[in-house]
């Protein structure tokens, strides 16, 4: 069974600062990994996904994530935070054979002016 | 990209009534649809998985007689909360998966806020 751990339920950064949201997965086989963003009272929007191609994945809105098998991590980063980045971020994992996603508990990102 | 819609976006109902939520894939055929429940400031909890034309598979602890799921076509799945009670108040999100896209990728609807009085 897979599990996804997001360290830090709340992260605050200043506008223009680096954003780093942590995600670790537990899986017996390399999973497919996703980062989603959720704005208040809305569904989830896909930021980026890792599907065993390049380990550094670039997504929308300037976000990127690096798959590190040795660390079982898939941390999300953005060089310079913008006020519009304030939202809830979810890391999720899914295997090729399973149809379901396992979600982390989420990280609320606050961007301070 | 693939678009998934939900209707209604919010609903308020009285305790004991039933509420139906629709989930539609607008520009692709969804072989599988998923229903999630999300409590405030919490993650998504998978309730059930449904494939077109077959019975839904419910997660452990989810009452299938209370949360009726129908996936009658490749573009529509419905979730009916029967005899709703205040504890059923939550944010319900559906997602859809198409056979053509990368394995496990799901496209999410905007969610439905259910409030049971």
Residues of B in contact with A99 (CB under 8 A): 32, 49, 97, 104
Angstrom distance (rounded) from CA B29 to CA B96? 9
Count H helices and E strands in chain B, helices first: 0, 11
Is A36 in Cβ contact with B107 (below 8 Å)?
no
To the nearest whole Å, the CA of A31 is away from the closest chain B CA by 10
Per residue of chain A (113 residues), give pLDDT as tens. Answer: 678 999 999 999 999 999 999 999 987 666 789 999 999 888 899 999 988 778 899 999 999 999 998 899 999 999 999 999 999 999 998 865 556 788 999 999 999 99
Q: Which chain A residue lies closest to B32 (C-alpha atoms)?
A: A99
Residues of B in contact with A89 (CB under 8 A): none
Neighbours of B34 (CB within 10 A): 25
């Amino acid at each position: 069974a897979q599990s996804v751990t997001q360290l830090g339920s709340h992260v605050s950064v200043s506008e223009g600062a680096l954003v780093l949201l942590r995600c670790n997965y537990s899986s017996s086989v390399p999973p497919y990994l996703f980062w989603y963003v959720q704005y208040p009272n809305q569904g989830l929007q896909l930021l980026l996904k890792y599907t065993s191609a390049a380990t550094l994945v670039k997504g929308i809105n300037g976000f990127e994530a690096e798959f590190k098998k040795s660390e079982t991590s898939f941390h999300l980063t953005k060089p310079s935070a913008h006020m519009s980045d304030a939202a809830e971020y979810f890391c999720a994992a899914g295997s090729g054979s399973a149809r379901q996603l396992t979600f982390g508990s989420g990280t609320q990102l606050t961007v301070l002016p | 990209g693939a678009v998934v819609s939900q209707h209604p976006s919010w609903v308020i109902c009285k305790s004991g009534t039933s509420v139906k939520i629709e989930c539609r894939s607008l520009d692709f055929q969804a072989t599988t649809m998923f229903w999630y429940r999300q409590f405030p400031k919490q993650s998504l909890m998978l309730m059930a998985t449904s494939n077109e034309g077959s019975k839904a598979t419910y997660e452990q602890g989810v009452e299938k007689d209370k949360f009726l799921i129908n996936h009658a076509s490749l573009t529509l799945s419905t979730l009916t909360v029967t005899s709703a009670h205040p504890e059923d108040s939550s944010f319900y999100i559906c997602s859809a998966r198409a056979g053509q896209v990368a394995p496990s990728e799901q496209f999410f609807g905007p969610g439905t806020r259910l409030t049971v009085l």
